[in-house]
Amino acid sequence: MHKEFKDFCKILFSPYAIKQTGIICNRCKLQINDYTLACAPYKLSKETVEILISLDPREHSLFTNHNKRFCLLSFSFLNMFTQSCDETLMRAEILKIDPLKDKSSIYLIQLKLSNCPPEVSHLIDEYFKNYGRLQSNYEKFKDSFIYIDAENIDMISVNTISLIIKSRVEKHILIYKFSTQTIVFLAHEENNLIPPDTEVTLRFYCEKCRFDVSGNVTSARKYEPDALCTIMQVPFSPELTEIVSLYHKQVLDDIELLQVI
């Protein structure tokens, strides 16, 4: 397997990845002999694992002495079907310990897996299958806008009111329409027009989560009678792309159902 492919097939545990994999971050542990430490998952592949861990000088010495030696890694995942917690044990070799910049006593530890458990291998395959589908849909639905109106409001999980963060100032705005790559939103006229190429962040509130999408303003104008209309382009966001994909799937399913009737 090429190194580039190996590097690509690493799950970076962003909020999206944590939600999709069901990993329970506060139940991850690293065990060396009889010594057990809590850790936080950072990256996961079928061959390597990277974790974040807090170490005092004594504990750091312990890890240094065990460099290139085997240890036991415990990850816990939420079973989506039974809603129970499944613990997975992985035997691993410590490869590298690096301190984080400006983070006293926090270290990034890289480990090599002796073997990848079947359930972890399956989880990684399913995650990247879904992630690849979303990346494809990012292009597919770039011009397919969802309008926030009475007809669509019940079909999406996003609230109509979001927050715009600009220079650390949060203001209420109204999403007018959005696709995977473009968001059009309205703000009250008392706000100033946002200049083109300004980077802004929108905060989406969903039924069970919230997420941020950052992008650059392409244009802004007055919108009658008392609002400003702003258009922004956004890079790939798995959360936003998933919402758009689910919406269009539901619309297609409804059309097919009507044709049957």
Task: Give the pLDDT confidence of 73-86 residue by residue, as tens digits.
Answer: 999 999 877 777 88
Q: Which of 83, 106, 138 is where one domain is finished?
A: 138
Q: Are 29 and 41 in contact (CB under 8 A)?
A: no
Residues 22 and 127 in one domain: yes
Q: What is the pLDDT of residue 1?
A: 40
Confidence of residue 155 (pLDDT cuts 50, 70, 90): confident
* Cα distance between residue 24 and residue 19, in whole Å: 9
Six token digits for residue 105 = 């006593």
Q: pLDDT band for position 226 (50/70/90)?
A: confident
Domain that holds residue 151: 146-260
Whether residue 132 sits in one domain with residue 153 = no
- Name the H helices within the chain: 3-8, 15-21, 57-65, 118-140, 238-260
Handedness of CA 13, 16, 17, 23 (dihedral sign): positive
Both 176 and 240 in a single domain? yes
Kindly report the average pLDDT of the chain as a whole number. 87
Position 13 pLDDT exceeds 60 = yes
Q: What is the pTM (predicted TM-score) of this model?
A: 0.84
pLDDT, position 191: 72
Last residue of a domain, one of 113, 138, 163: 138
Confidence at residue 127, expressed as pLDDT on a 0 to 100 scale: 96
Strands 146-147 and 169-178: what pairing?
antiparallel
CATH number at residue 207: 2.40.10.220
Number of domains in the chain: 2
Same domain, 188 and 213: yes
Which of 138, 159, 177 corresponds to the end of one domain? 138
For residues 25 and 77, membership in a common domain is answered with yes
* 201, 253: one domain: yes
Same-domain pairing of 180 and 84: no
**Looking at per-residue confidence, does 159 or 30 come out higher?**
30
pLDDT beyond 90 at 162: no
In the predicted model, is pLDDT for residue 124 greater than 80? yes
Residue 125 has pLDDT above 50, yes or no: yes
218 strand-pairing partners: none
Same domain membership, residue 127 and residue 159: no
Q: Confidence band (pLDDT; 50, 70, 90) for 5? A: very low
Confidence of residue 188 (pLDDT cuts 50, 70, 90): confident
87 falls in which pLDDT band (50, 70, 90)?
very high
